[in-house]
């Protein structure tokens, strides 16, 4: 049986009966670094190898955020090849959540933005606290989602809302996300973890083989070409790391100043600026 581990391990693992609780713990706001991604994938492998585990709850140790996006410092100077490797880490984590042969419930509090939102989107069910906010603000950095967000968000909220989220960088409240079908239930913050565990325990009483089969069948129904779609997303995402907008957008973010690419000439079909 896996036991609770030190917070320094980035993703803590506790087995509570048949429920595996994975708690992301990267203070102060759970920025989703390369280390968090790699540790999450390793923890999911541990859970899959644990015979007693039947359902997973993915939670946060931070009172402020489920996941406050990717580490911009880590990404700002990446070129396309390095970005492809980093994007591959993000996609590996979201695919591991999506393809784990047991249900995964996200217990989302505070900010779930960028990569944090993409982790939640890869789970099977989402319970949110009243203070939760969801969003894909990458456009404000000269980027787009690259860890599966362009593929999974339309399945959750529909193409129109997904375009609006991604193209404006807006975030939405837990109640708005519930109305769109992204969130199963909204609860007061003190009840979040126990509500997720209660649902996990209910699911744990079902046939584990039937649950896995149902999960895979549903995923296949809504995304039969998932591998090719994710590869296309990653190709577009890492290509943006060769653009001036990405460099300036991330630099402005780190320097805490405003930035707008509105005055920059729009690239033509060949990537050259139009006059």
Residue 2 confidence (pLDDT) above 50: no
Say what the pLDDT of residue 269 is.
53
Distance CA 111, CA 173 (A): 10
Query: 71 and 183 in contact (C-beta within 8 Å)?
Result: no
Percent of the chain clearing pLDDT 90 (strictly above): 78
Residue 267 confidence (pLDDT) above 70: no
Query: 42 and 204 in contact (C-beta within 8 Å)?
Result: no
Distance CA 250, CA 263 (A): 17
Residue 264 confidence (pLDDT) above 80: no
CATH of 7-190+217-222, picked from 3.30.310.80, 3.30.365.10, 3.90.226.10, 3.30.2310.20, is: 3.90.226.10
Q: Residue ranges of the alpha helices (H) in the chain?
A: 34-49, 72-75, 80-99, 115-121, 149-157, 159-168, 174-180, 192-204, 208-222, 226-239, 244-254
Encode pLDDT of 175-230 as tens digits.
Answer: 999 999 999 999 999 999 999 999 999 999 999 999 999 999 999 999 999 999 99
Q: How far is CA 190 from CA 14, 109, 193, in A?
A: 19, 10, 8
At residue 265 the predicted structure's pLDDT band, cuts being 50, 70 and 90, is: low
Residue 258 confidence (pLDDT) above 90: no
- Which of the following is catalytic: 74, 77, 118, 248? 118
At residue 268 the predicted structure's pLDDT band, cuts being 50, 70 and 90, is: low
Residue 171 confidence (pLDDT) above 50: yes
User: Is 201 a residue of the active site?
Assistant: no
Say what the pLDDT of residue 275 is.
43
Say what the pLDDT of residue 263 is.
60
Say what the pLDDT of residue 261 is.
81
Q: What are phi and psi of 217, to 5 degrees?
A: -65, -40
Residue 273 confidence (pLDDT) above 60: no
Distance CA 273, CA 77 (A): 23
Mean pLDDT for the chain? 91
At residue 262 the predicted structure's pLDDT band, cuts being 50, 70 and 90, is: low
What count of Cα atoms within 13 Å lies in the side-chain half-sphere of residue 194? 4
User: Is 130 a residue of the active site?
Assistant: no
Say what the pLDDT of residue 160 is.
97
Query: 199 and 54 in contact (C-beta within 8 Å)?
Result: no
Residue 4 confidence (pLDDT) above 60: no
Sign (positive/negative) of CA torsion 56, 61, 63, 67? negative
- Which of the following is catalytic: 138, 201, 233, 235? 138
At residue 122 the predicted structure's pLDDT band, cuts being 50, 70 and 90, is: very high
The two three-digit tokens of residue 259, written as one number:
């930035």
Which of 7-21, 50-64, 159-173, 249-263 is predicted with the least confidence, judged by mean pLDDT? 249-263
Residue 128 confidence (pLDDT) above 70: yes
Buried/exposed code over 68-89 (b: 16+ C-beta within 10 A; e: otherwise) = bbbbeeebbebebeebbebbbb
Which of 29-38, 75-84, 157-166, 191-200 is predicted with the least confidence, judged by mean pLDDT? 75-84
The residue written with tokens 């529909």 in the block is 158
Rounded (to 5) percent helix, strand, coil in the chain: 50, 20, 30
- Picking from 38, 172, 53, the residue whose alpha carbon sits closest to that of residue 108 is 172
Residue 16 confidence (pLDDT) above 50: yes
Which of 2-6, 113-117, 220-224, 241-245 is predicted with the least confidence, judged by mean pLDDT? 2-6
Query: 120 and 134 in contact (C-beta within 8 Å)?
Result: yes
């Amino acid at each position: 049986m896996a036991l609770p581990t030190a917070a320094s391990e980035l993703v803590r693992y506790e087995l509570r009966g048949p429920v595996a609780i994975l708690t992301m713990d990267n203070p102060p706001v759970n920025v989703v670094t390369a280390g968090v991604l790699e540790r999450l994938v390793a923890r999911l492998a541990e859970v899959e190898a644990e015979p007693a585990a039947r359902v997973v709850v993915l939670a946060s140790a931070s009172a402020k955020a489920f996941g406050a996006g990717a580490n911009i410092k880590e990404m700002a100077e990446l070129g396309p090849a390095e970005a492809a490797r980093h994007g591959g880490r993000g996609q590996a984590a979201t695919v591991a959540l999506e393809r784990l042969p047991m249900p995964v419930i996200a217990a989302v509090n505070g900010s779930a933005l960028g990569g944090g939102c993409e982790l939640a989107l890869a789970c099977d069910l989402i319970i949110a606290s009243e203070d939760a906010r969801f969003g894909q603000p990458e456009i404000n950095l000269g980027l787009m989602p690259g860890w599966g967000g362009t593929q999974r968000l339309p399945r959750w909220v529909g193409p129109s809302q997904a375009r609006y989220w991604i193209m404006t960088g807006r975030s939405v409240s837990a109640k708005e996300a519930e109305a769109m079908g992204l969130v199963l239930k909204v609860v007061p913050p003190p009840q979040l973890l126990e509500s997720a565990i209660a649902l996990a325990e209910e699911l744990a009483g079902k046939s584990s083989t039937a649950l896995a089969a149902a999960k895979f069948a549903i995923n296949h129904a809504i995304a039969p070409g998932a591998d090719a779609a994710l590869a296309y997303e990653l190709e577009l995402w890492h290509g943006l790391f060769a653009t001036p907008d990405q460099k300036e957008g991330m630099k402005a973010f780190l320097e805490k100043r405003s930035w707008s690419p509105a005055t920059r000439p729009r690239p033509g079909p060949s990537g050259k600026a139009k006059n």
